[in-house]
Chains A and B, each alone.
Chain A
Amino acid sequence: MRAPSILIVHPDHKTQRTVQRVLGATGYRIDVADDLGQGVRLLAHLEPVLVVVDGSAMSSPSVKQFFTVAKARGAESCMTLVGAAQLEQMSRILGLGAVTNLLVHPMPVLGEELTITAQKLLRSDLFGAEKYLLWGTKLNATTLTQASQRSQLVGELAEQVRGRGQSARVASMAMLVTDELLSNAVHNAPIDAAGRRYRAELARDGELALDVRHQVALRWGCDGRYLAIEVTDLFGSLDRDTILRALVQNDVKTSGSGAGMGIALTYRSCDHLVFNLAPGKRTEVIALIDVRFPHSERVPASSYNVFVERS
Chain B
Amino acid sequence: MLVIKGAIDESAGLSALLERAQDRRLVLDLGGVTFINSLGVRDWIRMQAGAQRAGIAIELRKVVEPLIHQLNMIIATRGAARVTSFFAPYACDGCGREDSLLIDAVAHAQGLAKLEPPAMTCAECGAQMEFNDFPERYFSFLSV
Contact = CB atoms under 8 A, between A and B. Distances in A.
Contact of A253 (B10, B75, B133): B75
B52 interface: no
Interface string B83-109: 000000101000000101000000000
Contacts of B20: none
Interface string A186-224: 000000000000000001110000000000000000000
Interface in A263-311: 265, 268-269, 294-296, 300
B7 A151 contact: yes
A172 B67 CA distance: 10
- Binding site of B, secondary structure by majority: helix, strand, loop or mixed? mixed
B89 A180 contact: no
A151 B9 contact: yes
B60 interface: no
A176 B132 contact: no
A174 to B, nearest CB: 9
Interface residues of B, number: 31
A172 B35 contact: yes
Contacts of B73: 252-253, 265, 268
B74 interface: yes
Interface in B92-134: 98, 100, 130-134
Contacts of B11: 205
B41 A204 contact: no
Contacts, number: 87
Nearest to B87: A168
Contact of A294 (B45, B66, B91, B100): B91
A269 B73 CA distance: 10
B130 A167 contact: no
Contact of A179 (B37, B91, B100, B130): B37
Given A254-B75, A261-B38, A295-B89, A169 B45 contact: no
A167 B98 contact: yes
Contacts of A255: 45, 74-76
Given A175-B35, A294-B91, A300-B134, A252 B9 contact: no
B69 A269 contact: yes
Given A168-B100, A204-B10, A300-B137, A256 B42 contact: yes
A262 interface: yes
Given A204-B10, A252-B73, A296 B42 contact: no
Nearest to B35: A175
Given A169-B100, A203-B10, A175 B42 contact: no
A250 to B, nearest CB: 11
A168 B141 CA distance: 21
B2 interface: no
A254 B76 contact: yes
Contact of B66 (A172, A180, A205, A257): A172
Given A254-B75, A256-B42, A268-B73, A296 B132 contact: yes
A152 B89 CA distance: 26
Nearest to A254: B75
Contacts of B98: 167-169, 294
Nearest to A182: B37
Contacts of B91: 294, 296
Interface string A153-171: 0110010000000011100
Nearest to B41: A256
B134 A296 contact: yes
23 contacts: A151-B7, A155-B34, A158-B35, A169-B89, A169-B98, A172-B65, A172-B66, A179-B35, A179-B37, A252-B73, A254-B75, A255-B45, A255-B74, A256-B45, A257-B42, A257-B45, A262-B37, A265-B37, A265-B38, A269-B69, A295-B133, A296-B91, A296-B130
- The 4 tightest CB contacts between A and B, nearest first, are A204-B10, A256-B74, A175-B35, A205-B11
